Amino acid sequence: MAALILPLFGLTVLGAGPAPAVLATFFAFVPVVPVVAVFLWIDRWEPEPGRLLLMAFLWGAGVATLAAAVGSLVLNHAWTAVVGTHVGDLLGTVVTAPFVEEAFKGAFLLVLLAIRRRELDGIVDGIVYAGIVGIGFAFTENILYLGTAISEGGLHGGIVLFGLRCVLSPFAHPLFTSMTGLAVGAMVRSKSPARFLLPVAGYLGAVFLHGLWNGSAALLGGTGFFIVYLLVMVPLFVAMALVVVWQRRREQRIVATQLPSFVAYGLIAPEEVRLLASLPGRRGWRSAVKRQWGPDAAKALSAYHAAVTELAFLNDRLARGASSPDTGQWHTELVDTVRFTRAQTMRHPQALQTAGSAAGPPPPYNG
């Protein structure tokens, strides 16, 4: 997937020159780290496997970008042949690009459901994976646009476009694709017969927002673009942030509710409940272990925390009846994983003993 980025970078080199292409790549990478950090912060309760997150980024940067470029080229050529160059270019920007790009970006969620369904178990997971795909797509697309801007307008032109795409709107593509991710995550947790329509609705929502974003610049000019930015995109970003906060609190409630049953079945110790029920408690526990017993003990403890969380989420799905044919097998495997990771942690026995003395707030939900 990473190799698929090379043809797109090559196009930038051929069109803009080697120096603008390298400078554009640097500018395009600047917003990647902080935006990725935001999505990793969102995913703190149940961190997704790093390999899958890298796969999501490379899918957006390589597969989705190259496929969308080819698809848009073909469809735009058809538009031009039917309605002429001017109208065809406009339709390509406002209609073709949103439909094609969001389709190829959102396809990663379907691939993930096919190959690693157990890793996508809710709205937060859907938003995180979709957002990382969007970041990858924006990275490669920004190289193309910034290379052209630097070639035609010099460093000043590149800095102006950098401000518009990488400073004012680094969350644009992640936000669009997050609509699809949110819908896919909701489908996974739903038991409604109509749940399979949710991804379609999410995709259409992503297309609408993407088309509105492109259309505001193409049809309304700079003033219209900033009006749409302030009145639509900023409130939508705030709304998505509120959804994330709500879902994170719901995840905390799920974990806190399930922990007493884990104690009853002997999976965890009673003194661990207080710390496992909150992120500050877990963080304090890991920090104390790392400080006293080293990074290996802290890493083993992190794996134990992750396994407990995954089992809590799966138990919640079983309780709500939102299970699949594989859920029973997953449950057995997760119980074994909790026991295994706890046994690995006990290779550093002081790590578990630290639970009795580590500082942490009491759980806000008693279950």
Q: What is the mean pLDDT of residues 298-304?
A: 90
Q: Enter the pTM of the model.
A: 0.88
Q: Check whether residue 51 and residue 141 sit in a common domain.
A: yes
The DSSP line for 110-149 is HHHHHH-GGG--SHHHHHHHHHHHHHHHHHHHHHHHHHHH
Out of 6-10, 197-201, 290-294, 348-352, give the one with best mean pLDDT: 197-201
Question: What's the confidence (pLDDT) of residue 347?
Answer: 73
Q: Check whether residue 245 and residue 273 sit in a common domain.
A: no
Number of domains forming the structure of the chain: 2
pLDDT at residue 360 tops 80: no
Considering the domain boundaries, does residue 119 fall inside one?
A: yes
pLDDT band at 200; cut points 50, 70, 90: very high
Q: Check whether residue 308 and residue 337 sit in a common domain.
A: yes
φ/ψ of 356, rounded to 5, equals: -75, -20
pLDDT at residue 71 tops 80: yes
pLDDT band at 336; cut points 50, 70, 90: very high
Q: Check whether residue 106 and residue 150 sit in a common domain.
A: yes
148-168: pLDDT as tens digits: 999 999 999 999 999 999 998
Q: Check whether residue 161 and residue 305 sit in a common domain.
A: no
Domain holding 310, by residue range, is: 265-356
With a CB cutoff of 8 Å and minimum separation 6, the contacts of 170 are: 31, 34, 35, 138
H helix intervals, the chain = 5-16, 18-29, 32-42, 50-58, 65-83, 85-91, 97-115, 123-162, 172-189, 198-228, 234-264, 273-276, 279-293, 295-320, 327-345, 349-353
Q: What is the mean pLDDT of residues 265-292?
A: 89
Q: Check whether residue 192 and residue 216 sit in a common domain.
A: yes
pLDDT at residue 362 tops 80: no
208-254: pLDDT as tens digits: 999 999 998 878 877 888 888 898 889 999 999 999 989 889 989 99
Q: Which H, E and C letters describe 257-275, residue by residue?
A: HHHHHHHHCCCCCHHHHHH
Q: What is the DSSP letter of 192?
A: -
Cβ contact 9:25 at 8 Å: yes
CA gap 63, 36 in Å, rounded:
19
116-145: pLDDT as tens digits: 888 888 899 999 999 999 999 999 999 999
Q: Check whether residue 174 and residue 141 sit in a common domain.
A: yes
CA gap 27, 24 in Å, rounded:
5
| Domain endpoint, select from 194, 214, 249 | 249
The token duo for 296 is 């290996």
